[in-house]
Structure 1
Amino acid sequence: MNVHTPIGKSEAESSPAPAQPHAFHYAGGPTAILLIHGLTGTPAELKLVAKGLVRAGYSVYGVQLAGHCGSEADLTATGWKDWLASALEAFDRIRQDHDAVFVGGLSMGALLALLVASHRSDRVAGCLLYSPTMFYDGWSVPRGSVLLHGAILLGLGRFFRFRENFPYGIKDDRLRARVQAAMESGRSEEAGLLYMPGRSLAQLLYLIRDLKPRLPALRMPVLVLHAREDDVTSIRNANYLAANLGGNVEKILLENSYHMITLDQERELVIDHSVGFLKRTEPRRLAAPSLSLALNRGRS
């Protein structure tokens, strides 16, 4: 979720977790949506939105990224290319059973959705980006983070880990208390890790570096949902993507949430805006082959 105060090096150790025990699939209609969670996060942070999309008639899949839902040691054993491989493998599997597949994600998951679209540009129907994280510049991020990020890119990430701090990306007081309790008790499969290893933050920065030059070539429809009061990533992130993506981008700002918009007080709005985007986008995608077939018949 968030990146905050650096403390000492991690000493967490454990054996690797099974491949994807916390992934989910909700069966629905012929059009599918793949949802990707954030760095140190869990598929659970997307389940409420997923269920709303299923009610609207879509099949929804939530991927568990490599190294996640376990310990810090599990996470640091993987890097951004492993996380992307998890997402691509899930997309390719889903695409075998669905004519149209949209890809969405929260925070880093939104960036992975764009990378999936870049690597599968002829097969991704569109992207749903929730609180995309190109820059850690929200109001709760400590000053000096830019300099620290530079040090991490120079290979010093092994000396740092970052603790989730208040408000944990959540504006809703009761929900925040539940998420905080789950993180502090070590239930990473429910609420993600309480600490982010510096090595993992470095991998995110490498991912962003790979993604940036790809943006102008991404021409599929994109929805960007971002909280105006995002505590982790300011609306500069949404503005940057709207200005640099090569296709049609719908940008919507939410007024009563923090970073974790798929869980927070406006999650129903997130669902409504997502369904509206899908319904506006899906008919054009699915009608195109029929239109082409009709034109060819008319010429024969």
Structure 2
Amino acid sequence: MAVSVLPGAEPYAHDGNDIGVLLVHGYTSTPQSMRGWAEHLAAAGFTVRLPRLPGHGTRWQDMNTTRWQDWYAEVDRAFGELRSRCSQVFVAGMSMGGLLSTKVALEEGPRVAGLILVNPIYLHDDWKLVLLPTLQRVLPSFPGIANDVKMVGGEPELAYDRNPLKAMHSQTQLWAEVRRDLGEITQPVLLMHSRVDHVVPVESSAHFLAHISSTDVTEIWLENSYHVATLDNDAPLIHDESVRFIERVSGSLRAGEG
């Protein structure tokens, strides 16, 4: 039986010029949280893909039947599609989407032209995580982590109100794998992270910056947003800085080819 996708959680695709941008949404979230960003990039002329990760956008119980390998496989499929039609491909993600985007950059190397991250997660300081390997065997879920938004009266995040623990345990395994290889990241990086984030600790981005090997790194603090910054007050800043970064890096790469 076909899985019923929540209205608004559908993937987004736009065919534009030969610069591709892959956007990856966060854990328990949906493409809705990044659709405004995707549409802004499309309006700038880029070819854009924003897939819905397996287990997301239906029922939280469905997430407990998926693992990080399933989420990454969908991201990898979308990246391959962009590579087949674009001369350069940038990868962008928020929260766990940033983690998966970093994994793409590690796996694909120079085939990723640049990496754009919003509040990415690579580690967490919640003491309950120590118990997660055991808890995920006996408890299906915890209360959710969605909709950490500062803006009053804005669009709420379309995401699960529960945190599925088997899926969460799998995500933590990917944290460790990506952290181990961060020194292999050499692509240009645009990192935008919130000064106040109630979901991902500030140490996560600090760890990323301290361990990558990229020489072209732009760090921007988001002063007026919480975790889901793409639906928050700083969304226009994220949109504009992304376009500026992509145009600068893609232009430099083209000049280098010449």
For the criterion TM > 0.5, the same-fold answer is yes
The CA deviation at 1:233 is: 1.5
AA in 1 matched with 2:38? A
Aligned to 2:234, which of 254, 259, 266?
266
Q: Does 1:57 align with 2:21?
A: no
User: Which consecutive residues of structure 2, in runs of 5 or more, have no partner in the other structure?
Assistant: none
Match of 1:210 in 2: 177
Change (3 A) 1:27 1:157: same
Rounded to whole Å, the distance in 1 between the matches of 2:100 and 2:229 is 17
The superposition leaves residues 34-66 of structure 1 with CA deviations (integer Å, 9 ceiling, x where unpaired) of 000011110111111112222222121101111
Q: Does 1:81 align with 2:69?
A: yes
Contact 1:16 1:74 in 2 (8 A): no
The CA deviation at 1:154 is: 4.2
User: Which consecutive residues of structure 1, in runs of 5 or more, have no partner in the other structure?
Assistant: 1-13, 138-144, 180-189, 291-300
Contact 2:115 2:189 in 1 (8 A): yes
Match of 2:162 in 1: 195
Contact 1:216 1:246 in 2 (8 A): yes
Match of 1:170 in 2: 149
- In percent, how many aligned pairs have the same letter? 30
Match of 2:11 in 1: 23
AA in 2 matched with 1:195? R
Change (3 A) 1:155 1:161: closer
Change (3 A) 1:17 1:95: farther
Rounded to whole Å, the distance in 1 between the matches of 2:64 and 2:140 is 12
Rounded to whole Å, the distance in 2 between the matches of 1:89 and 1:109 is 15
Rounded to whole Å, the distance in 1 between the matches of 2:124 and 2:199 is 6
AA in 2 matched with 1:66? P
The CA deviation at 1:266 is: 1.0
TM-score for both structures, normalised by structure 1 = 0.79
Aligned residues: 254
AA in 2 matched with 1:173? V
The CA deviation at 1:69 is: 0.8
Bigger Cα Rg: 1
Q: Does 1:150 align with 2:150?
A: no
Rounded to whole Å, the distance in 2 between the matches of 1:33 and 1:114 is 14
Change (3 A) 1:27 1:156: closer
Contact 1:228 1:234 in 2 (8 A): no
TM-score for both structures, normalised by structure 2 = 0.92
The superposition leaves residues 222-281 of structure 1 with CA deviations (integer Å, 9 ceiling, x where unpaired) of 111001011211322221111111113211101100001111011001111111211221
Match of 2:243 in 1: 275
